[in-house]
Amino acid sequence: MKKTVQKQFGQFFTDPLIARLMVRWALKKNAKNFLDPAVGPGIFPQMANELGAKVKKTVVEYEPSMIAKFKEGNKYSVKLVCSDYLAFDSETKYDAIVCNPPYNKFQAIPNRDLYRELFSKKYGACLSGYTNQCIYFLVKSINELSVGGRCCYIVPYEFLNTGYGVVVKQYLLCKRMLRGILKFDSTTNLFSDAITTSCILFIENRKFDACYFINSSSISDLEAFDFDDFSAKHSTFSRKYENLDCNEKWIKYFEQKKQNIECENLIPLSLVGKVKRGIATGSNTFFSLNQTRIKEFKLSSRTCVPCVSKSPDIKSLIFDKKEFEKLYSMDKKVFLFNGEEALTENDKFYIKHGEEMEANKGFLTSHRTPWYALENKPPAPIWVSVFNRGNIKVVRNEAGVKNLTTFHGLYTNGLTEQEINILFCYLLTPTANRILKQNKREYGDGLDKFEPNDLNNSKIIDIKNLTGDIKLKVLTCYEELKKSNGDNSVVIRKLDDIFSDVVKAF
């Protein structure tokens, strides 16, 4: 399948070892019928056939090329329904349902408002408008299980930590059918084209008192894994339903050690400032400008707003005007076009050029008046990278330029420049990283992500409560960082020694 088609339909294919694990568990209770709601090339019914299960198999597929591929490879008796599963109205209750559903974000779900209304009325699931398509599949399958039937889904782990996931978790808690979750380590990328951390949901149509939260560090570990056997022998991995909170990030339930770090001298970040996402243009190809494009279209300086576009472009911890000029001379995209300031004929011609390239027809631009206007966000004094591997990337914005969504901006409330510098120095440290990462979201291949509210709900050190001697030491380190030409590890270790002693947690 071409990747463009695969991406359009949110399709990512399942490892055979994982497929066998899922199907084996779902069929364990002498299932009489079997459903795969998004069959793709057909690995789940194939596994059911290989396991010798004498079940009546029904599979559903919507995408034409996948239907053709399934028919070509199908060597066993099966009922193929060529339909969108969400629109497939079956009165049958299934003993076993196994699925790797499409992973489309809410913008890519056709008729999502109609589905939201339908699911609310039919299933009592009041899903958020931001809900991933895979959750619609999951809710529908839960309601199509026979009494005692089993459902096994592999889905992105993100819904257990996101805002839209609150109502999903609430729904699962109400049903009490979720027997357990097997979460893969964030360094285990199950799908080569999907940047996401995955988990397997074990669901059975009967009421449970507890749910199991299990970590897996590698796919090979699962070759002999049996969920029923594991849960019978390892009760310490279970959490009572009465102790599960849909408003919390469920990453904490996978930790066998104490997750909440007890620290001193910490305050909510909200008392110091607020983290906001960067500027979303709706068409970076049009709005982001480098030196070459500015000269090519002879754009006036009033339409060119200084703004960094990409996190990898920022190599230094402290981004000043000298660093900005360096990027500009390297022909990096460090300006945004602000069409509302267009006065010259050249500026107006560039707007027409944008319309010719249909930059005005994107989701954001088509809902904006005028389409070429920019979000009115001031420069943030501190940037925090949205995606991180290892340490959280934090940058002090001394140049006073704006940023796109590659960074979140930390806007402080009433802090002096020196206090902002101290806060920045704290955020650089491993101590701060460990505390902030309690609210992270895990994606595939060791990738972590923070949404603005993940950081807003975090705690940071109380800058105002530091002694004058500590402040002086930190500011001295800040000056060392400014003079540094490369390796800052020694200075960061010095800062960590200072702040870890204040926090007294490590």
Same domain, 293 and 412: no
Same domain, 19 and 47: yes
Same domain, 34 and 169: yes
Same domain, 325 and 410: no
Same domain, 79 and 223: yes
Same domain, 72 and 169: yes
Same domain, 57 and 171: yes
Strand ranges, E, within 157-270? 178-184, 198-204, 210-216, 238-240, 266-268
**Boundary residue ending a domain (354, 374, 394):** 374
Specify the pTM: 0.62
Whole-number Å distance between alpha carbons of 200 and 35:
17
Please check the confidence at residue 260 and state whether its pLDDT lies above 50.
no
Contact 347, 299 (CB under 8 A): yes
**Boundary residue ending a domain (333, 359, 374):** 374
Q: pLDDT-derived band of residue 106, with 50, 70 and 90 as boundaries? A: low
How high is the mean pLDDT of the chain? Answer: 88
State the pLDDT at residue 104.
75
pLDDT tens for 48-99 read 998 877 899 999 999 998 999 999 888 888 999 999 999 888 889 999 999 9
Strand ranges, E, within 125-169? 145-156
Whole-number Å distance between alpha carbons of 178 and 153:
11
pLDDT tens for 288-340 read 999 999 999 999 999 999 999 999 999 999 999 999 999 999 999 999 999 99
- State mean pLDDT over 269-296: 95
- State mean pLDDT over 418-434: 95
DSSP 8-state symbol, 164: T
| CATH, residue 36 | 3.40.50.150
Same domain, 469 and 332: no
Same domain, 333 and 436: no
Q: pLDDT-derived band of residue 275, with 50, 70 and 90 as boundaries? A: very high
Same domain, 170 and 227: yes
Ranges 7-11, 444-448, 460-464: which has the least confidence? 7-11
Same domain, 414 and 351: no
Whole-number Å distance between alpha carbons of 457 and 399:
28
State the pLDDT at residue 108.
63
Total domains, the chain: 3
pLDDT tens for 357-366 read 999 999 899 9
**Boundary residue ending a domain (328, 351, 374):** 374
Same domain, 109 and 215: yes
Strand ranges, E, within 94-244? 94-99, 145-156, 178-184, 198-204, 210-216, 238-240
Domain range for residue 495? 260-275+380-506
pLDDT tens for 368-418 read 999 999 999 999 999 999 988 888 999 999 999 999 999 999 999 989 999
